[in-house]
Each structure stands twice: as structure tokens, then as C-alpha cells.
Structure 1
Amino acid sequence: MRLFGKYLLILFKSQMQYRTSFWLLTFGQFFIPFSVFAGLYFMFERFGQIKGWDFFEVALCFGVIHMAFAISECMARGFDMFSSLVANGDFDRLLVRPRSTVLQVLGSKFEFTRFGRLLQSALVLAWAISQIHVEWTFLKALTLLFMIVSGVFIFTGIFILMATMCFWTIQGLEVANIFTDGGREMAQYPLNIYQKWVARFFTYVIPFGCVNYLPLLYLLGRTEGSSALYALTPLAGCIFILPCLLIWRFGVRHYRSTGS
């Protein structure tokens, strides 16, 4: 962690060399999801609710998933930009260093400007929490925290899978954005508003449902059966990253270098 902290310090100093650009990018990142949230607000202003969900319940879902995506995009940006390391042969240098390749790729890129997006989602989340009618307990607060952590692990795992493809395709595949940008847009609503096969896929394969839907039912007191199981579902998102790391190790072992 000390080494990772040094990576962050170096990257922060480099990005602050152009402070005007840094603050303008941060300001822009604040308003990008704001426009999406405005569309969400006007939709509920017109229709009132969606399949039994009111505005602030969906806003809670929105805040959680966008905050998780912002944190993951900050920390895992190195995996998102990994194709350039493979194409330029720079990944070879990472292999001869006595540290984990995962740590080095994480430290190769960190987008501090994404804090604007993080701040916006945090404001939405705080507003939603203040407006919904929930009797907050320590376990519910812990569940909400793990919802965000679980989302971070899921998005980071997807970024790792996208990067692993580059060992065979050299360039990143745009189809993978279906599960990052597309997953973020889809998961900002409770999953039960979609077709059943969509909800099942994003619960049992890519477990976004364990971030934004099942634990949300627990927070709102709408569970059927044992509520403890609903509270524990965010752990599935944390577990999701483990097979992603195994696939990454498989890809590293089969990496053949650039030949240069």
C-alpha cells in the first residue's frame, strides 16, 4: 500500500502541473452525470413512479451505482487504458519488476478528475437518504456501505476482464463497454423493471442485482423471507473480482510479448 500511495502521489503531481485543465475537467465530470440525473428527475415528475418505485428510492439506487463507478474509474483507470501498454510493449517492463502486475497497472493511471463525478453522486445519495422513509440501523448503514464497495469490485473486475482480452486482441474491444457504461446505466434502476432474463443475467452472472436491487429491498423493508440474506448479497460483488483476477493471471502467463 505504501508503494501504491507513492504511485498516487506521482500521478497527482503530474496532473496538477496543468491546474486550470485539471479543475475544468473535474468541473465537467461533475455535470456529466448531473444531466442524466436531471433526465431521471423529469421522468418521475411526469410519471410519478416506475413499477412501484418512487423517485427517491431510484435516486438512492442511482447514487450508489454512480458512486461505485466513479471510485472504480478513478482507481482502475490503468486497466481501462491497458491496451496501450500491450501495443507499445510497455507491459514487458512491468513483468521484470518485483511487484504484482495488478498493483503496477493500478498505479499506472489514476484519474483524480473523476472526483467531480464522485462528488455529484455523493450529493444525490445524501439527498435520497434524507428523503426516503427508512428506520436506519447499524446493519442497514453497513449494508449501504457494502453496496458501494460491492459495486466498486464489480466494475473493477469488468475492467480487469477487458484488459485481459488485450493479451489476445492487442486492442481493447468496444463491446466490453456494454458491461461498464451500459451496466452503469442499467443498474441505476432497480432490476425488476427489466425483462426476467436481463434481471437474472445481471444477478447470477454479473451481480449488479446484488448491489442495487436485493440489498435495496432490505433497506426499504420489502424482503420476502430472511432479511439477513438480502443484507449479505453485496458480498457477491466482492467475490466477483476473484475469478477476474484468476483470468488475469491466466492471461499474463500466456502473454508472448511484442517481439521487439
Structure 2
Amino acid sequence: MGSLPLFFRLMAASISGQARYPASALLLTVGQFLGTGIEVIAVWALFHRFGEVQGWAIGEVALFYGLVNCMFAIADALGHGFDVLGTEFLRTGTFDRLLLRPRPLALQLMGNDVRISRLGRLLQGVIVLVFATVQAGIAWTPGAVALALFALAGGVALFLGILVLQGTLSFWTVESLEIANVLTYGGVQAAQYPLALYAQWFRRVLTFIVPLACVAYYPALAILGKPDPLGAPGWVGMVSPLAGFVFLAAAFGAWRIGLRRYASTGS
């Protein structure tokens, strides 16, 4: 069996295992939907109180929110194996079992535990996108749809790269979850709002170090047909999602360095 068919089989086995307890899976999914729904209420309350924030309306910000949460939901579902690498694989010694299999480690970890519950966040992101379409009057032309899908793929690659880096840190620290949360959940929070609202140093971080602006801010501007207040040309949003794939490639480069450092527990 090839690597890709094996990945889909592992993914199907993971989903099937969770589906054996449908009530639990449903409650976890609803919990994700309601838990992240608090963030939606917070954004709505902000704009309900002030109307606009530096010229940005709620429908425009809803587009950022919807795109980013869809990206993170998919990446979080696929990258959970990297998330728990230190606690569930390295510490227990079961990582050696994956090394013995003649298949890519990344695919094994991604297919190990695909979380159904992340559908709750994904559904919420889609609902917010519908809201943004109505509020901002977005015209979903074929070009806009293609750009949104391109941005979604780049965003999934970016967040997956962050999870890969989290797993890589586990080769040195075992416990690296709180460090990575600054980039994962903190990154989701930061990318939910337009880049122009932040200080210059933070804009540079979100553009050149962890390129969240490249997968959310610039593509969203192109979809909205809105000029960038910071002066970036309109074509930037058409190509900027590529930064997500570059970040993922760099993360896997660091992953290979971490693998060379790994020593078995001997158990």
C-alpha cells in the first residue's frame, strides 16, 4: 500500500474509533462550536458598541474571522499527532514503533488521531463566512472563490507548520505545549483582525516571521476589493498564501533536525 492510501486508511480508522461513541463525539463537537462561539460574541460586542474600528466594518472583519477559523480547524484536526508527540509518543517510547514502519512519519502522525470535534470550529467559521458575505456584500466570483480556497490551503499549511514545530520542540523539551500555544491559539486571535490595527513591529512579525497576514489579511483584502491602508499593492493577496507552504517546508526542515537528535527510551 502506498503512503497516501495508508494515510487515508489511518484517518478512516481514527474517525471510526471516535464514531463508536457517537454521543461523546457529538458533545465534543458541540463543545468546540459553543466554546469558540464566545469569540464571535466578543467581536460582535466590539462592533455593536463602536460601529466601526478604524474604518473596518463588522462584515469585513467577519471575513478574516471565518477564514482563519476554517484554516485552524482543518490544521488542528490533521496535526493533533504533532500536538501530543511529546506526551503520547516520546515519553512512552511508542515513537519507536512509528520509526520501524516503512512509511513517512508525518503521515503516520497526521493519520493517528484525526479529531472529529474540530468540525465544530469549522462549522462556526463557515457560518461566519456566510454572515460576512451578507454584511459586506461580497461577490463570490470564480476568481474570489479560487483565491479563498488558495488562502485556505496556505493557512492550513501554515498552522500545520506551527504544529510540526511544536512537535519538533518535543525532541528537546518533551513538554512544549504552552510555548506553541502562543503561535497557534494566539495566532488565530491575532489574524482575526485586520493587520492595519496593530503596531508596526507586530505587523512585521505577522508578515515575515509567522506569516499569518499572508494567508488571511492580504487575500481577504483582495476578496473584498478593498485597498490596503498600509499601501501594499493589490496583487500581493493573489500570491501571498504561498508563504504558508514555505513556512511548512521550513518547519519540516527543523523536524528533520529534531529527528536526528532523537534517542530511544530503550523500553
Equivalent in the alignment of 2:141: 137
RMSD of aligned Cα (Å)? 1.4
Does the CA contact (< 8 Å) of 1:214 and 1:233 recur in 2? Answer: yes
State the secondary structure of the residue aligned to 2:210. Answer: coil
Tell me which amino acid in the other structure corresponds to 1:248.
W
| Residues in 2 aligned to 1:99 and 1:253: alpha-carbon distance in whole angstroms | 17
Does the CA contact (< 8 Å) of 2:171 and 2:258 recur in 1? Answer: yes
Does the CA contact (< 8 Å) of 1:211 and 1:233 recur in 2? Answer: yes
State which of 113, 118, 132 in structure 2 corresponds to 1:114.
118
Does the CA contact (< 8 Å) of 1:15 and 1:22 recur in 2? Answer: yes
The superposition leaves residues 137-162 of structure 1 with CA deviations (integer Å, 9 ceiling, x where unpaired) of 32222111112111111110000000
Structure 2, unaligned stretches of length 5 or more? none
Equivalent in the alignment of 1:237: 244
TM-score (normalised: structure 1): 0.95
Tell me which amino acid in the other structure corresponds to 2:36.
P
Aligned 1:125-204 pairs, distance under 5 A: 125-204=129-208
State the secondary structure of the residue aligned to 1:227. Answer: coil
Corresponding residue pairs, total: 260
Equivalent in the alignment of 1:253: 260
Residue 52 of structure 1 pairs with residue 52 of structure 2: no
Aligned in 2, Cα 1:134/1:21: closer, same or farther, shift over 3 Å? closer
Equivalent in the alignment of 1:37: 40
| Residues in 2 aligned to 1:73 and 1:225: alpha-carbon distance in whole angstroms | 30
Tell me which amino acid in the other structure corresponds to 1:51.
Q
| Residues in 1 aligned to 2:125 and 2:232: alpha-carbon distance in whole angstroms | 32
Does the CA contact (< 8 Å) of 2:44 and 2:58 recur in 1? Answer: yes
Residue 81 of structure 1 pairs with residue 88 of structure 2: no
Equivalent in the alignment of 1:20: 23
Equivalent in the alignment of 1:65: 68
| Residues in 1 aligned to 2:33 and 2:141: alpha-carbon distance in whole angstroms | 31
| Residues in 2 aligned to 1:23 and 1:214: alpha-carbon distance in whole angstroms | 35
Q: Percent identity?
A: 39
Residue 208 of structure 1 pairs with residue 212 of structure 2: yes
Any runs of at least 4 consecutive aligned residues in structure 1 with deviations exceeding 3 A, and if so which?
133-137, 223-226
Which one is further off, 96-105 or 138-147?
Answer: 138-147
| Residues in 2 aligned to 1:21 and 1:34: alpha-carbon distance in whole angstroms | 20
Structure 1, unaligned stretches of length 5 or more? none
